């Protein structure tokens, strides 16, 4: 939004998490406002927000994420996608009925992506090579049911099935690492993720350029030396 504001006359952000009455000019910008969600758009280019306020828009840019879709698997696939939940997947990777012949890497979101995807890939490789054994189909299905039960306990909608916010990603990463015989995720990486989330909330437009965790950056740099 900040990049667009540098060349646009006005930028208006509609945020699902903002209260209905929200209409706030953003700090350090004289041409950016935060609003509640859009109620409707009109033929003359007017955009009406949930609080009843409206603006004239030249462009509406949807920043709503993406949907899972696997049309190449055909209608007789053993998996379904309902409300962005890919089901049933053991540990968000293996369709139970055809495991280990088919696997999905990279479905989880709200994560540090590349370390998680690397661990998923190593786990799949270990299973395909025979070094790591999958549980029985019944055991995998019980694990999936337990995951859905936890989701319901949190009050999360089905579309949040692959949402790893709240620290679950590191529990998942460490489980994968243990399966593969690798050490757990580095502590500095976990702390840096938490620090970045806090910084992003405090400096939504500047968090890429300003931070307060130089000690963690130093730890990361020292850790990376072993790969040089």
Q: What string of H, E and C letters represents the secondary structure of 46-82?
A: EEEECCCCEEECCCCCCCCCCCCCCHHHCCCCCCEEE
Domain shared by 160 and 88, yes or no: yes
CA distances from 132 to 44, 149, 176, 177, 195 (A): 61, 27, 11, 12, 35
- The crossing angle, in degrees rounded to 10, of helices 214-224 and 187-202 is 140
215 and 116 in a common domain: no
**Looking at the domain assignment, is residue 145 inside a domain?**
yes
Domain check: are 45 and 115 in the same one? Answer: no
Question: What would the mean pLDDT of 197-219 be, rounded to a whole number?
Answer: 88
**pLDDT tens-digit map of 81-109:** 999 999 999 999 999 999 999 999 999 99
Q: Is residue 196 part of a domain?
A: yes
SS3 11: strand
| Mean per-residue pLDDT, 43-51 | 93
Give tens-digit pLDDT for 116-151.
999 999 999 999 999 999 999 999 999 999 999 999
Do 191 and 169 reside in the same domain of the chain? no
Domain match, 50 and 128 both: no
Window from 56-65, 72-81, 184-193 with minimum mean pLDDT: 72-81
Q: What is the mean pLDDT of the chain?
A: 92
Residues 113 and 148 in one domain: yes
Whether residue 61 is contained in a domain is answered as no
Are residues 152 and 137 located together in one domain of the fold?
yes
Q: Rounded CA gap, 182 and 139, in Å?
A: 24
- Residue 205: pLDDT over 80: no
Structure confidence at residue 29 as a pLDDT band (50, 70, 90) = confident
110, 167: one domain: yes
Q: Are residues 175 and 192 in the same domain?
A: no
Say what the pTM is: 0.81
Query: Could you tell me the two tokens for 113?
Result: 């992506």
Asked if residue 76 has pLDDT above 80, the reply is no
3-state helix, strand, coil in the chain (%, to 5): 40, 15, 45
Residue 222 structural domain? 187-227
Distance CA 228, CA 222 (A): 11
**How many Å separate Cα 190 from the centre of its chain?**
16
Query: Is the separation of the CB atoms in 194 and 166 below 8 Å?
Result: no
Number of domains forming the structure of the chain: 3
Cβ(36)–Cβ(18) under 8 Å? yes
């Amino acid at each position: 939004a900040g990049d667009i504001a540098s060349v646009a006359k006005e930028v208006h952000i509609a945020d699902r998490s903002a209260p209905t009455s929200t209409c706030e000019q953003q700090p350090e910008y004289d041409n950016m406002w935060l609003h509640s969600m859009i109620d409707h758009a009109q033929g003359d280019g007017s955009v009406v927000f949930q609080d009843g306020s409206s603006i004239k828009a030249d462009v509406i840019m949807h920043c709503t994420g993406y949907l899972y879709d696997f049309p190449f698997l055909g209608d007789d696939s053993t998996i379904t996608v309902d409300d962005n939940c890919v089901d049933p997947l053991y540990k968000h990777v293996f369709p139970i009925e055809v495991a280990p012949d088919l696997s999905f890497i990279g479905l989880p979101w709200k994560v540090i992506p590349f370390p998680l995807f690397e661990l998923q890939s190593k786990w799949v490789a270990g299973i395909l090579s025979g070094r790591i054994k999958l549980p029985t189909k019944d055991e995998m299905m019980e694990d999936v049911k337990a995951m859905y039960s936890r989701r319901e306990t949190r009050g999360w909608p089905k579309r949040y099935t692959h949402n790893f916010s709240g620290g679950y990603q590191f529990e998942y990463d460490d489980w994968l690492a243990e399966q593969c015989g690798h050490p757990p995720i580095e502590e500095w990486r976990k702390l840096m993720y938490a620090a970045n989330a806090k910084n992003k909330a405090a400096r939504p437009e500047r968090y890429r350029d300003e931070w307060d965790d130089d000690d963690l950056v130093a730890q990361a740099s020292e850790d990376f030396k072993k790969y040089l």
